[in-house]
Structure 1
Amino acid sequence: MAELNQQFAASTTAACRSHVAELNVRADDVIISTYPKCGTTWMQQIVHGLRSHGDMTFGEISEVIPFMEVAYDCGIDLNGPQGYSPRAFKTHMSADELPEGARYIVVLRDPMDACVSFFNFMNGWYMEPGAVSLDTFTKEYFLALSGGDRYWTHLCSWWKRRHEPNVRIFCFEDIKQDPAACVRIVAQFIDIELDDQLEQLVLEQSSIEFMLRHKHQFDDNLLRRARDAAIGLPPDGESSKVKSGKVGASKPLLSEHMAARFDEIWREEVTPLTGAKCYRDLRSLR
Structure 2
Amino acid sequence: MTDLIGQARSVEDFGAVMGKAMAGERPHHKPYECPPEGSPADVFITSWAKSGTTMMQQMFHQIRTAHRGGDMDFDDISRVVPWDDTAYMLDFDMTVPQRAQPRGFKSHREYERLPEGQRYVITLREPKETYVSMYRFFNGWQLERDAVSMEDFWPLWLGGGPGGCDYATHITSWYARRREPDTLLLDYTWVVKNKEETVRRLAAFMGVDLSPESEALVVERASREFMVEHQDRFDDAMMCAVLEKRCGISADSDSTKVQASGSASKILPASVAEKIDALWAERIAPVTGHHDYSTLAQSLN
TM-score of the superposition, structure 1-length normalised?
Answer: 0.90
- The Cα shift of 1:144 comes to 6.8
Query: Which of 250, 261, 264 is equivalent to 2:275?
Result: 261
Stretch of structure 1 that moved more, 152-161 or 113-122: 152-161
Matched, 1:33 2:49: no
Q: Is the 8 A contact 1:32 1:43 kept in 2?
A: yes
1:99-124: CA deviation from partner (whole Å, max 9, x where unpaired)? 11111001110111001110011011
Amino acid at match of 1:250: S
**C-alpha RMSD of matched pairs (Å):** 2.3
Secondary structure of the residue aligned to 2:295 is helix
| Residues 231 and 95 (structure 1), Cα distance of their counterparts in 2 relative to 1, 3 Å cut | farther
Are the aligned partners of 1:73 and 1:227 in contact in 2 as well (CA < 8 Å)? no
Partner residue in 2 for 1:230: 246
The letter of the residue matching 1:142 is W
- Asked whether the 8 Å contact 2:111–2:174 carries over to 1, the reply is yes
> Does the aligned pair in 1 maintain the 2:243–2:251 contact within 8 Å?
no
Name the residue aligned to 1:64.
80
Whole-Å Cα distance in 2 between the matches of residues 148 and 58 of structure 1? 25
> Following superposition, which runs of at least 4 residues in structure 1 exceed 6 angstroms of deviation?
13-16, 144-147
Listed as ranges, the gaps of 5+ residues in structure 2 are 1-10
1:250 aligned to which of 243, 265, 278: 265
Q: What letter is aligned with 1:97?
A: R
Contact 1:12 1:69 in 2 (8 A): no
Among candidates 37, 42, 57, match of residue 44 of structure 1: 57
Q: What amino acid does structure 2 have at the position aligned with 1:254? A: L
Q: Does 1:127 align with 2:147?
A: no
Does the 8 A contact of 1:124 with 1:237 survive in 2? yes
Letter in 2 for 1:266: W
Unaligned runs of 5+ in 1: none
Contact 1:50 1:202 in 2 (8 A): yes
> What is the rounded CA distance, in whole Å, between the counterparts of 2:294 and 2:19 in structure 1?
31
Matching of residue 272 in structure 1 with residue 286 in structure 2: yes
Q: Secondary structure at the match of 1:168?
A: strand
Q: CA deviation at 1:19?
A: 4.5
Which amino acid in 2 is paired with 1:32? I
Give the deviation of 1:55 after TM superposition: 1.0
How far apart, in 2, do the equivalents of 1:203 and 1:117 lie? 23
Q: Percent identity?
A: 35
**Mapped partners of 2:90, 2:174: distance in 1:** 27
- The residue aligned with 1:76 is 92
| Greater mean alpha carbon deviation, residues 162-171 or residues 5-14 | 5-14
Partners of 1:28 and 1:72 in 2: CA distance = 23
Change (3 A) 1:180 1:114: same
List per-residue Cα deviations over 1:40-68 (Å, max 9, x = no partner).
10000100000011211111111110011
In structure 1, the partner of 2:255 is 239
Per-residue deviation at 1:15? Answer: 8.3
CA distance in 1, matches of 2:176, 2:228: 35
Are the structure 2 counterparts of residues 207 and 12 from structure 1 closer, same or farther at C-alpha, using a change threshold of 3 Å?
A: farther
Relative distance call for 1:11 and 1:34 in structure 2 (3 A) is: farther
Cα separation, partners in 2 of 1:145 and 1:226, compared to 1, 3 Å: closer
TM-score w.r.t. structure 2 length? Answer: 0.86
